[in-house]
């Protein structure tokens, strides 16, 4: 299941598109997708690992050293990855961009899923929704597209009420928080 991550930025999407382009030429999207899933599982299961990669204190030289010490395409004593994923990690490190690694990995997964006619939609509500209501939303969305829809439910009490649907850069925000913000902006414009 994809996590709604604040690291999913335009920069992370550009890097993931570059990786996708490289592996598409070799028809190894599914193999790299599985590898990316394993890396994401590693991030989820090891807080220290995640903190290390997300540290803003590491210089690009330190980031490259970190990647070289942890990953290898041949050395079985290190985390084994394919040559494409290793090159991807090294490019991120050389450019001082390891902090966007999580977003780039999630974005890569989305690219592969969309290739297979799947789309992930993040559903944010103020309170947990019943499976019946989630299915109703899913059925409405299925009528709008021919793709398989995966709904990832998130709870964010700060939206007060309503829902937010997001898929990639597309956003539908009908939350009460959004309506209050719009009213405040109109009020500021009047004064």
Same domain, 179 and 142: yes
Give the least confident one: 9-13, 37-41, 163-167.
9-13
Answering whether pTM is above 0.85, one says: no
Which two three-digit tokens encode residue 18? 């570059």
Residue-level pLDDT at 8: 59
Same domain, 23 and 104: yes
Mean pLDDT of 116-129: 89
Same domain, 171 and 144: yes
Judge contact between 151 and 4, C-beta under 8 A. no
Q: How confident is the model at residue 116 (pLDDT cuts 50, 70, 90)?
A: confident
Give the mean pLDDT of the chain.
Answer: 88
Q: Would you say residue 4 lies in a domain?
A: no
Beta-strand runs (E) in the chain: 71-72, 79-80, 118-125, 148-155, 162-167, 170-175
Q: Would you say residue 5 lies in a domain?
A: no
**Residue recorded with tokens 């490289």:** 22
- Name the nearest CA neighbour of 40 among 84, 5, 78, 90: 5
Same domain, 122 and 100: no
Same domain, 28 and 103: yes
Same domain, 37 and 107: yes
Q: Would you say residue 3 lies in a domain?
A: no
Cα–Cα distance, 171 to 102 (Å, whole number): 21
Same domain, 107 and 134: no
Q: pLDDT digits over 149-172, tens only?
A: 889 899 999 999 999 998 877 889
Mean pLDDT of 36-51: 88
- What long-range pairs does 60-67 form, CB within 8 A, spacing at least 24? 60/93, 60/94, 60/95, 60/96, 63/92, 63/93, 63/94, 63/96, 63/98, 64/90, 64/93, 64/94, 66/93, 66/98, 67/92, 67/93, 67/98
| Domain range enclosing 60 | 10-113
Same domain, 105 and 16: yes
Helices (H), 55-160: 60-70, 83-94, 101-115, 131-142
Helix (H, G, I), strand (E, B) or coil at 177: helix
Same domain, 17 and 106: yes
Domain count, the chain: 2
Mean pLDDT of 72-87: 92
Same domain, 48 and 121: no
Q: How confident is the model at residue 191 (pLDDT cuts 50, 70, 90)?
A: low
Residue-level pLDDT at 32: 94
Same domain, 99 and 122: no
Q: Would you say residue 35 lies in a domain?
A: yes
Q: pLDDT digits over 146-155, tens only?
A: 788 889 899 9
Domain end call among 83, 113, 143: 113
Cα–Cα distance, 64 to 42 (Å, whole number): 19
Domain end call among 113, 133, 151: 113
Q: How confident is the model at residue 64 (pLDDT cuts 50, 70, 90)?
A: very high
Domain end call among 47, 80, 113: 113
Mean pLDDT of 184-188: 88
């Amino acid at each position: 299941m994809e996590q709604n991550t604040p690291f999913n930025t335009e920069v992370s999407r550009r890097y993931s598109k570059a990786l996708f382009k490289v592996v598409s030429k070799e028809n190894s999207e599914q193999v790299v997708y599985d590898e990316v899933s394993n890396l994401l599982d590693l991030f989820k299961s090891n807080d220290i690992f995640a903190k290390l990669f997300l540290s803003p204190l590491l210089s690009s030289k330190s980031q490259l050293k970190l990647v070289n010490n942890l990953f290898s395409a041949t050395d079985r004593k290190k985390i084994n990855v394919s040559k494409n994923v290793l090159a991807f990690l090294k490019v991120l490190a050389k450019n001082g961009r390891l902090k966007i690694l999580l977003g780039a990995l999630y974005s890569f997964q989305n690219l592969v899923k969309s290739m297979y006619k799947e789309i992930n939609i993040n559903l944010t509500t103020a309170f947990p929704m019943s499976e019946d209501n989630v299915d109703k939303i899913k059925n409405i969305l299925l009528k709008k597209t021919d793709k398989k829809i995966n709904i990832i439910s998130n709870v964010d009490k700060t939206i007060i009420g309503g829902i937010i649907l997001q898929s990639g850069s597309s956003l539908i925000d009908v939350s009460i928080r959004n309506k209050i913000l719009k009213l405040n902006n109109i009020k500021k414009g009047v004064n």
